[in-house]
Amino acid sequence: MGNFRITRSPIPDLRIIETRRFADDRGHFSETFSQSALADDGFDAPFVQDNQSLSRATGTLRGLHFQTAPFAQDKLVRVIAGSVWDVAVDLRRSSPTFRQWYGLELSAENGLQLLVPVGFAHGFLTLEPETIVAYKVTAPYSGANDAGVAWDDPDLAVGWPLPVAEPVLSDKDRNLPRLAHAALFD
């Protein structure tokens, strides 16, 4: 596989990236990003910003977020510590997978990454305390273009594996609109 194996999820535009780990008595080493490997798979947008979040409590839910044009973002998401249930929802009206979601566990242990393209909302639910998520984006943050969809919208019916009775949410995420009232992509 070289250092990277890139596969497609059931929603073909979402890429799952597995990085090869080289282990010895000290631990392991892995190359976590390669622009050339992504370009070989047809993704050549440059990343312009790295973001990182720490979620202290198990059951912290962040999302479902996206940015609108001209600051729409592709995201390359990975977990540095702990684990999350990572979700992407297709918000492209013209897509055959419009309103479909895909989720998978990303963890420090499994080293998987998810490449979420423009046109998708993204969110995650922490499965462990003290979880650190890092992601690269292809456009800078723009408050004027910051948008999202309610994590519990019944029209999306995302299968969140809630490890607690109620997720820990920010006020912003608690008040995100339902899909019927959200900004969408063409």
Catalytic residue among 65, 102, 122, 181: 65
The encoded tokens of residue 35 equal: 């622009």
Question: Is 141 labeled as catalytic in the residue annotation?
Answer: no
Residue of 116, 123, 39 whose CA lies nearest to 85: 123
Q: Quick one: CA torsion of 146, 149, 151, 155, rounded to 10 degrees?
A: -170
Cβ neighbors of 146 (< 8 A, separation 6 or more) are: 65, 67
Compute the chain's Rg from CA coordinates: 16
Question: Is 65 labeled as catalytic in the residue annotation?
Answer: yes
Q: Rounded to whole angstroms, how far apart are CA atoms 163 and 125?
A: 9
Catalytic residue among 102, 135, 141, 181: 135
For the annotated catalytic residues, the residue numbers are 65, 135
